[in-house]
Amino acid sequence: RKEVEQDPGPFNVPEGATVAFNCTYSNSASQSFFWYRQDCRKEPKLLMSVYSSGNEDGRFTAQLNRASQYISLLIRDSKLSDSATYLCVVDPGNTGKLIFGQGTTLQVKP
Amino acid sequence: EPEVTQTPSHQVTQMGQEVILRCVPISNHLYFYWYRQILGQKVEFLVSFYNNEISEKSEIFDDQFSVERPDGSNFTLKIRSTKLEDSAMYFCASSVQSNQPQHFGDGTRLSIL
């Protein structure tokens, strides 16, 4: 099983749509979780940390299910500028050694 | 907003040559990292660095690789004898603590000929 697994997509959605991405991780002892976004050939940019209780930042909501080792990201009211690759990232040992998923590509169409 | 800066943005080098990639982490950050991303593949951890020593390194980070903090601001990655398969985007990152979010520089594209 891959350490961090994501559906690569692409997800093609119209503007204004709600879209959800999922991610699973293999190390049940993992403590820190993040979503990053990456535009083509650019650096990963932190979107949000993921907390056990779930957290929201504007149109973005992240959820963590430790029992199922599953992380999700929900984007509401999609904008054209949301088009990017969304990276699920896990720090299994809280040491700063980030393990990245392959990424899920989102294309928002007018 | 403070940011991690990397130079050069693109480095072209002959196979077998040494290359040094440079990074200036965010000034109040204590933990520094290097990652690489081969074209079309996922981002991979190379090494973490704290208190002037390596904290952790991956299998990729073999004897050809080294890191250094030569002064109070720079953090460098050296590849001693480059191979074709070292061609990738190299990202530097830094964080306040090891369990806090990491902020990435905009990367150095390394092309080995």
Cα distance between residue A77 and residue B77, in whole Å: 41
Q: What type of residue sits at position A26?
A: S
Cα distance between residue A65 and residue A97, in whole Å: 21
Residue of A nearest to B47 (CA): A97
Q: Shortest Cα distance from B39 to chain A (angstroms)?
A: 9
Residue of A nearest to B107 (CA): A43
Q: Which CA distances in Å does B85 have to B38, B71, B82?
A: 9, 30, 8
Binned at pLDDT 50, 70 and 90, residue A85 comes out as: very high
Share of chain A above pLDDT 70, in %: 100
Mean pLDDT of A53-67: 94
pLDDT in tens, B6-63: 999 999 999 999 999 999 999 999 999 999 999 999 999 999 999 999 999 999 999 9
Mean pLDDT of A82-108: 95
Selected residue of A43, A91, A105 to mutate for chain B interface (largest B Cβ count, 10 A): A43
Q: Is the pLDDT of residue A1 over 80?
A: no
Tell me what the pLDDT averaged over chain A comes to: 95
The token duo for A7 is 């559906």
Cα distance between residue B96 and residue A62, in whole Å: 23
Which pLDDT value is given to residue A91? 94
The token duo for B13 is 């080098």
Which pLDDT value is given to residue B2? 76
SS3 B84: helix
Cα distance between residue B39 and residue B85, in whole Å: 11
Residues with Cβ < 8 Å from B96, sequence gap 6 or more? B28, B29, B30, B31
The reply to whether A95 touches chain B by the CB within 8 Å rule is: yes
CB contact under 8 A, A41 and B33: no
Q: Which CA distances in Å does A73 have to A17, A88, A106, B39?
A: 14, 9, 12, 25
pLDDT in tens, A87-99: 999 999 888 999 9
| The length of chain B, given as a count of residues | 113
pLDDT in tens, B71-82: 888 999 999 999
Which pLDDT value is given to residue A74? 97
Instruction: Give me the residues of B, 52-111, that contact A with CB < 8 A.
Output: 55-56, 58, 89, 91, 95, 98-99, 101-107
Q: Is the pLDDT of residue A41 over 90?
A: no
Binned at pLDDT 50, 70 and 90, residue A20 comes out as: very high
Binned at pLDDT 50, 70 and 90, residue A37 comes out as: very high
Do the bridges between strand B5-7 and strand B103-104 make them parallel or antiparallel, or are there none, so unpaired?
A: unpaired
Cα distance between residue B44 and residue A45, in whole Å: 15
